[in-house]
Chains A and B, each alone.
Chain A
Amino acid sequence: MSDAALTPPVEALPVAPVAAQVSIGQIFLEFLIIGATSFGGVVPYLRGSLVTKRHWVDDKEFVEMLSISQSLPGLNATNMAILVGEKLRDAMGSIAAIIGICLPGAVLMYIVGIFYRMHGDHIWITAALKGVAAAAVGLILSTVVSMSKKSLSGKVDFIFVALTVIAVNRLHVGVPRTLVAVGLLAVLFHRPRKQQKENGTQ
């Protein structure tokens, strides 16, 4: 009677008796498949696999986990693996999920690293890499554009962007110091005045 109130055994889970017991092997295999097939961004693959195919998390949980992943340091892919793994099978689930999602890409890049070291100066490879580098710049640029659309709220924000670029690229101030300084300025500027602005960290 005393400590029963402290431990909610099944916290309001409207769906998913399915999620009751998923084996560590299943978790590892599912994340291994995601890790091996998710070209160009992991999130759609995670949703397709975890929500649509396996029903391990429902759509609302998925969105919540994703926003937690985005506000924490670390890559979305690995943070999602940890959160979903933890939900399914606690620590062992997390470990299985993160190893699964990292393994294919890591092995691939290990081989690429060796190959590039041996043959990187070959004329055809140099030419191909030039093209690939151009494509990567394009990808980064598209990330910049979509991030700006989401997070820049006014003209003043561009000043903070410019300040950061100048500090890191021209003045060679360290990134952490720049982030703290510019971050503080931005927080001061965006402090709640007339309208309340909600902030989703923590």
Chain B
Amino acid sequence: MSDIDIRKVVQEELNNIAPEVDMASVDPAADLREAIDIDSMDFLNFITAIHHRLGIDIPEIDYPKLVTLNGAVAYLMAHRKPA
């Protein structure tokens, strides 16, 4: 998967949690918890969805690396399964 594909997946899953948010307008470096108002349950649902969709294991200790759009994409790119 390319950077663009992964970004699309991340945005789709965030939109499932925050349907009213236009993800294109979210600052990719902003903390998602504030930028799109998600709580720990939302974030866990996001991690769960990404895990199911991409098959990437995301241990709890790595959560802080995924709190921005750019951070999440970079993390998932680095941990993606070989094609």
Q: Do A and B bind each other?
A: no
